[in-house]
Amino acid sequence: MPGNPTLILLTSMILLQAAWLAGIKLTRATQRADKLMRVVFYELLLSLFFLLTSIFAPEIAFARFAVPAGWRLTAQLGLGLLLIFTFFAAIIYSRIQRIWRFDEQGNLEAAQQFASEGWRRTFLHYTELPWLGYQHPPLIPVLGGIIFRFFGFRVLLFRLLSVGFMLGVLLVTYLTGVRLYDPFSGFLAVVLCLSFPLFWRLGCAAMLDMPATFWFGFGLFSILQAQNRDGSWLWLSILAGLVIGLGLLTRYTLALIYPLLLVLVLLEQVSWMSSMLAVLVSFLVFSAWLIPAYRKKILHAQFRRLREFSGLKSGYRNPAAGVLSEPVFNLPVLAHSWRWRLRLESLFSRLPSAIGTYNLPIILVGLTTVLQQMITADKFVLTWISVPFILLLILLPDHRYFLPVFPALALLMAHGLVESAFSIPPVTGLALLFCLGNLYLFVDWERRRYLFSWKIG
């Protein structure tokens, strides 16, 4: 059935995934050519199965999915089963995934420091900690230190903390989908979240990304819930502030939620009163770290590092190389060559790999649907995606920092599939199975070459 839209969508997903695998081979990005060929063989068989089923059994492949009556209860049951499955799958991946250099390694070392010395003594030489001291607040390493203190140095247990936050992100994604659209769209968004390779990789690593994503999404959902709720808006706004404050204690980049809230208020998507109260409470929570960090001159070193890396200050120091980058000055540093190479690397290599190139056609379907309809919920999702994305691309174009946008992407994709003429089961099934192959490739991934070399020093 050449004119069937689902067949066209499946074909485009297969072609983009094939192009991605070919790109890895041609650029020699991985040292494990043997694993790459196994993935190619697996995904070739997968593609043939889906295409042949589409051609010879179209009544199965292209069956329209009808949402049954009383789906809310079905969605809740399905979500519970999906979260249980995700938990056990994440345990397996957490056991076998390699340690991420620098970030996870630094987080583990910082947590071990808190466990051995205690938080009081560790704070005395906080800026001397090689990874944590000059760029991050302490919440997650402190929690990791508590785990190590009671259970010994077990990487898996610290990673399970991230797995817990990962499940929390999925739950918040579902609840946001129910609030904006309907239970089925919320459930489908959770499924599509699980088709993002980076979502699994960071959810199964002892890093800051998944906790920060949870605080970001939960804070946004709480403010959204406070809208038009006369009786409980105050407590929901306070809850949002507490959550955002904890997010700032996890990673400073959670401050991106502030410009997002500003735009949402200007677009009348959320209440300005709830947003202002949430911002105030978040500052009060964050001050528990800001005040002592300022007194001990920790903030000065950390904010200098953030300004230099973001391009708002010249003279970024590469900690791996230990030398300054070539001279740059003030505003022109934003267009400095290595930052542009990093932006290009993120846009054309890292982010497509993080999301899954096979998901790009589904994102296009969702974007087209949103731009055509532009209902209130669509504006909210589109703003959630665009504001952090633009700011990160300008200031901090590392692909991991984009993770708080992923739930909104999943909601966009889910809404597009629900509102379109595509058959949902084969599309989501292919995306999940492609993701499985990518995760096999990434489990011990060591990048050999970059598409755009951006390292400095």
What distance in Å separates the CA atoms of residue 424 and residue 280, rounded to the nearest whole number? 43
pLDDT band at 456 (very low <50, low <70, confident <90, very high): very low
| Least confident among 91-105, 125-139, 328-342 | 328-342
pLDDT at 256 over 80: yes
Does any domain span residue 431?
Answer: no
| Least confident among 5-9, 192-196, 221-225 | 5-9
Question: What's the pLDDT score for residue 260?
Answer: 97
Does any domain span residue 23?
Answer: no
| Least confident among 121-130, 161-170, 326-335 | 326-335
Question: What's the pLDDT score for residue 214?
Answer: 99
pLDDT tens by residue, 338-386: 677 788 888 988 999 999 999 999 999 999 999 998 888 999 999 999 9
Residues 6+ apart with CB under 8 A from 130: 106, 109, 319
- How confident is the model over 249-273, as a mean pLDDT? 95
Does any domain span residue 357?
Answer: yes
Does any domain span residue 121?
Answer: yes
Question: What's the pLDDT score for residue 73?
Answer: 66
Q: What is the 3-state secondary structure (H, E, C) of 147-198?
A: HHHHHCCCHHHHHHHHHHHHHHHHHHHHHHHHHHCCHHHHHHHHHHHCCCHH
What distance in Å separates the CA atoms of residue 317 and residue 297, rounded to the nearest whole number? 19
CB 305 within 8 A of CB 134: yes
| Least confident among 65-79, 96-110, 188-202 | 65-79
Q: 59 or 242, which is more confident?
A: 242
In the chain the first and final C-alpha atoms are separated, in Å, by: 55
Element (H, E) at 318: strand 317-318
Give the rounded percent of residues in the chain with a pLDDT score beyond 90: 65
Does any domain span residue 157?
Answer: yes
Does any domain span residue 107?
Answer: yes
Does any domain span residue 453?
Answer: no
What distance in Å separates the CA atoms of residue 232 and residue 287, rounded to the nearest whole number? 26
The number of distinct structural domains making up the chain is 1
DSSP designation for 236: H
- Angle, helix 406-419 to helix 155-180, in steps of 10 degrees: 40
Mean pLDDT of the chain: 88
Range of the domain at 232: 96-424
Give the rounded percent of residues in the chain with a pLDDT score beyond 70: 87
- How confident is the model over 310-338, as a mean pLDDT? 48
323 φ, ψ to 5°? Answer: -135, 160
3-state SS class at 121: helix
Sign of CA dihedral 49, 52, 57, 60: positive
pLDDT tens by residue, 394-425: 888 889 999 999 999 999 999 999 998 788 98
pLDDT tens by residue, 297-318: 888 888 887 777 766 665 554 4
Does any domain span residue 299?
Answer: yes
Question: What's the pLDDT score for residue 64?
Answer: 55
pLDDT tens by residue, 36-87: 999 999 999 999 999 888 777 766 555 555 555 555 667 788 899 999 999 9
Q: Which two tokens stand for residue 441?
A: 């490739």
Transcribe 88-112 into DSSP letters: HHHHHHHHHSPPPTTHHHHHHHHHH
Residue linked to tokens 């009556």: 69
Question: What's the pLDDT score for residue 304?
Answer: 80
